[in-house]
Structure 1
Amino acid sequence: MVPPKPASRQGRFAFWRYLRNFRRDILSANPERLYGAKMAEFRIPFLHTFLVNETALWRRVLTQEPLNFPKSPRMAAGLEPLLGQGVFLTNGEVWRRQRRIIDPAFEGGRLRDTFPAMLAAGRATVDRLAALGPAPVDVEPQMSHATADVIFRTLFSMPIEDATASAVFRAFRAFQGTQPLLNLAAFLPLPRWVPRLHRRATLTAARRIRALTRDLVEARRAAIAAGTAPDDLATKIMTTPDPETGRPFDDAEMVDQVAVFFLAGHETSASALGWALYLLALDPGLQDALAAEAGRELGAAPDFGAVSRLTLARDTFREALRLYPPVPMMVRQAACPATFRGRAVNAGAQVVISPWHLGRHRALWDDPDAFCPERWSTPAGRAAAREGFLPFSAGPRVCPGAGFAMIEGPLLLALMAQAFRFAPVPAQSPVPQAQLTVRAKAGIWLTIIPRAA
């Protein structure tokens, strides 16, 4: 079964049309041949870019020489009003210090501690969906609600219904609606002092999110000082000193990191779950198998170990991540001259690693555009994953929340498949489009039918 894929660019290259289309949707702005290319080179005014699909090249950039290919400041420009100096955007010693403090919070033992909060958020999601009735529903905002609930329960021990959590969620939705994937500074070599021409609504929403987050951080700091803080992710991160300097995050630094956690842990997971539900809707037999697995492994009072036994749910979620990676492209900047496949890469050139193209690359995957969770249990599928499955990046900058996402995603998917049947809405096939993440141009509309009915 082959789900929707955006049409590739046709016809001759025209710079200004490409620029307009690229800002609107990078997936359809590029030619079809990228799905089979080992490397592509683009030269447009002010921008020299290499897209690398060859395994040896992306491994060189991400895992072997990451200091020579730091995060591109061009791509950071659009997110700085929200994320400040969060770990998603920084480089060098600032980034290394941030990871030394953050990483311990997402180690295996801490993830076990987050499971009850994830389970509660998943059950609350089932209750919300059940209240909608068997009518067509856009599941994208529903999944955004669900993953925001997970973040607030695991990070600050509060459900999404809390007034502050709800206000942050609403402000983030406003930010999404105003912020294109690429700011003008992604194309022009602007000095740091030049304004980035953000829309006023973007800046307003970002300021609102950061103000609310600052209130949460300050309240938690007071609770830590009083000895009344819950033992959740926020407390763990705020009380962890840098092992090299002994200094923990101050409140301003923590506001930046919470903004990152909300973007990376909420928006990306919501994107993946929305597409996973659509893929399930196309395969009723798979839905029944998932429901049976959930009933068998989760039971009435599941423990953390149950997640590892949700094999089919995990493979389904992985397949959704392969076909619709939430972050479709990662951009690095060459810090020094290099050579790729005999081509000179000058310092300052942009290097793009595309989980979107790698996940559908014809040289790596059998039937790459087909939805096939079974591939993950085959030697060929596992081999292809080692060569071209990068939804969480790789190397030192691999997403610290990757393990968190691979618990959250299969768990919520299993709970929803156990409770409901999903069916596509006729004549409303979703069209993938890269916004902040890979979303559907007009939503993902499904009919949700309780299994009890």
Structure 2
Amino acid sequence: MKPPKPTPRPDKVSLWRYLKLFRKDLLSAQPQRLYRAWMAEFRTPFFRSFMINQPELVDMVLKQRPDDFPKSGRISEGLRPLLGDSVFLTNGEAWKRQRRIIDPAFEGGRLRDTFPAMLQAAEACVERVRGQAGTVVECEELTSHAAADVIFRTLFSVPIEHEVAAQVFEKFRAYQRQQPLLNLAAFVPVPRWMPRMHARTTRKNARDIRQLIKRLTAERAELIAAGQAPDDLATKIMTTPDPVTERCFDTREMVDQVAIFFLAGHETSASALAWTLYLMALFPDWQDKLCAEAEILENPSFTTMSKLKLSRDVFREALRLYPPVPMMVREAACAEQFRGRKVPKGAQIVISPWHLHRQERLWDRPDDFDPTRWGTENGKSCQRHAYIPFSAGPRVCTGAGFAMIEGPLLLSMLLRHFRFELVEGQTPVPVAHLTVRSKDGIWLRVVER
């Protein structure tokens, strides 16, 4: 049994048909041949895009020469109302300064410090789900709630039930479905001079979210000034000066960064965990293995996490099949040549974890769910060269280590207490919104063990 994926379009369709498919769903708009191609070119009247699916090219763009392939400004247009000038959108010296301040908060020792808050969120999630046992639940909503709780507890030391945290969560749920991950400008003939229109409700939700984050940030600044701030991620980031300029983030900059922490740390984790729960329902033998392994969480601690090996492999496999961010877009800062083909300055370079993780020339049985692959030579090789759920190189996700603790922990805690079962007629179809989500939700029956 293979996990579901969108049905790719035929290899040849008209531009008009492609645009209609793209607006409906980014993933199913891509042709079948992209699962075998090393590179594909998309030509429009205004610019050209190149999707690269060869590990050597991906390595060059993300790791070897990242300054020559900065983040595409076309992508930032869609997310700017919410994220401002956050580390997710900036390039050059501004981005380097932001990373110098942010990265220390997510170093190895800090993960140990955040674990108690993460565990509290996992325990709270179990209690919420216990109240739904015996019913069919929408898992993306369940995991969104849990991931948002993790973020607020580790960032601001408040649970999701906190007044402001709850408001941010509700506003973001409305924002999430309105804003696609990739602005159409990355793929279709939209000239740079054409204004980018955001729906009025999208702009309002973004403003409201930022205002609420500003309130949390201002309250934390007061606690820091009074010497009463808790030792959490927000305090660490707000009190860390850039070692080069010796300046800390000001209020506006901190609002930008908290917005991306919430977006990246909540939205992506929720997507990954929801798909993992679906895979567990689809493959109940693996669910039983993880339940048995989770008995070690009788007395959980940070060191316990290294013993959740099966859970980590299952979560890693879910990230391969359903990478939360399915495509990333860079821009050629100078003229280039890929595989003997000219790449003009300004061309859009599309890197697709969705396709790279299923590249038929690289992976054994790429569409199969097989957590044991990570112990094989093929799996180890592909993990090094063709596996980028958190991007790679200097712009690798700061919270990658955080996510690889959070995901297996939440997964193991849930499976220790509950069984997740398929619901007839409810097969999820992956589509790209802010992250890879199911078109109509992921509906599973929850049974208490």
Fold agreement, TM-score > 0.5: yes
Structure 1 residue 11: Cα displacement: 6.1
Greater shift, 194-203 or 119-128, is seen at 194-203
Residues 1:145 and 2:137 are matched in the alignment: no
Residues 1:28 and 2:28 are matched in the alignment: yes
Q: Which residue identity lines up with residue 190 of structure 1 in the other structure?
A: R
User: 2:161 maps to what in 1?
Assistant: 161
Distance 2:358 2:44 in 1: 26
Residues 1:351 and 2:349 are matched in the alignment: yes
Residues 125 and 146 of structure 2 are in contact (CA less than 8 Å); yes or no, is this contact kept in structure 1? yes
Greater shift, 68-77 or 282-291, is seen at 282-291
Segments of structure 2 that go 5 or more residues without pairing to the other structure are none
User: 2:280 maps to what in 1?
Assistant: 280
Distance 2:47 2:444 in 1: 41
**1:86-125 superposed matches below 5 A:** 86-125=86-125
Distance 1:302 1:127 in 2: 17
Greater shift, 230-239 or 5-14, is seen at 5-14
Q: Deviation digits for residues 265-317 of structure 1, max 9, x if unmatched?
A: 0000000000000000012211111011110x222x31101111100000000
User: 2:10 maps to what in 1?
Assistant: 10
Residues 425 and 446 of structure 1 are in contact (CA less than 8 Å); yes or no, is this contact kept in structure 2? yes
Residues 1:377 and 2:379 are matched in the alignment: no
**1:53-452 superposed matches below 5 A:** 53-186=53-186, 187=188, 188-191=190-193, 195-295=195-295, 297-299=296-298, 301-451=299-449
Segments of structure 1 that go 5 or more residues without pairing to the other structure are none
Distance 2:73 2:230 in 1: 36
Residues 184 and 197 of structure 1 are in contact (CA less than 8 Å); yes or no, is this contact kept in structure 2? no
Structure 1 residue 338: Cα displacement: 0.7
Residues 177 and 434 of structure 2 are in contact (CA less than 8 Å); yes or no, is this contact kept in structure 1? no
Structure 1 residue 177: Cα displacement: 2.2
Q: Which residue identity lines up with residue 312 of structure 1 in the other structure?
A: L
Q: Which residue identity lines up with residue 6 of structure 1 in the other structure?
A: P
Residues 11 and 31 of structure 2 are in contact (CA less than 8 Å); yes or no, is this contact kept in structure 1? no
Residues 180 and 432 of structure 2 are in contact (CA less than 8 Å); yes or no, is this contact kept in structure 1? no
Greater shift, 125-134 or 245-254, is seen at 125-134
Residues 323 and 356 of structure 1 are in contact (CA less than 8 Å); yes or no, is this contact kept in structure 2? yes
Distance 2:24 2:75 in 1: 15
1:407 match: secondary structure:
helix
2:419 match: secondary structure:
strand
Structure 1 residue 7: Cα displacement: 0.1
Structure 1 residue 184: Cα displacement: 4.8
Q: Which residue identity lines up with residue 349 of structure 2 in the other structure?
A: V
Structure 1 residue 18: Cα displacement: 1.2
Distance 1:172 1:400 in 2: 21
Q: Which residue identity lines up with residue 107 of structure 1 in the other structure?
A: E
Distance 1:222 1:256 in 2: 19
Distance 2:147 2:321 in 1: 20
Paired residue total: 447
Residues 184 and 196 of structure 1 are in contact (CA less than 8 Å); yes or no, is this contact kept in structure 2? no
Residues 333 and 345 of structure 2 are in contact (CA less than 8 Å); yes or no, is this contact kept in structure 1? yes
Q: Which residue identity lines up with residue 276 of structure 2 in the other structure?
A: A
Distance 1:226 1:23 in 2: 51
State the Cα RMSD in Å. Answer: 1.0
Residues 177 and 433 of structure 2 are in contact (CA less than 8 Å); yes or no, is this contact kept in structure 1? no
2:7 match: secondary structure:
coil
Q: Which residue identity lines up with residue 399 of structure 1 in the other structure?
A: C
Distance 2:376 2:409 in 1: 23
2:330 match: secondary structure:
strand
Residues 40 and 52 of structure 2 are in contact (CA less than 8 Å); yes or no, is this contact kept in structure 1? yes
Distance 1:345 1:372 in 2: 37
Distance 2:141 2:107 in 1: 29
Distance 1:374 1:184 in 2: 38
Residues 24 and 180 of structure 1 are in contact (CA less than 8 Å); yes or no, is this contact kept in structure 2? no
Q: Deviation digits for residues 116-135 of structure 1, max 9, x if unmatched?
A: 01111001111111101311
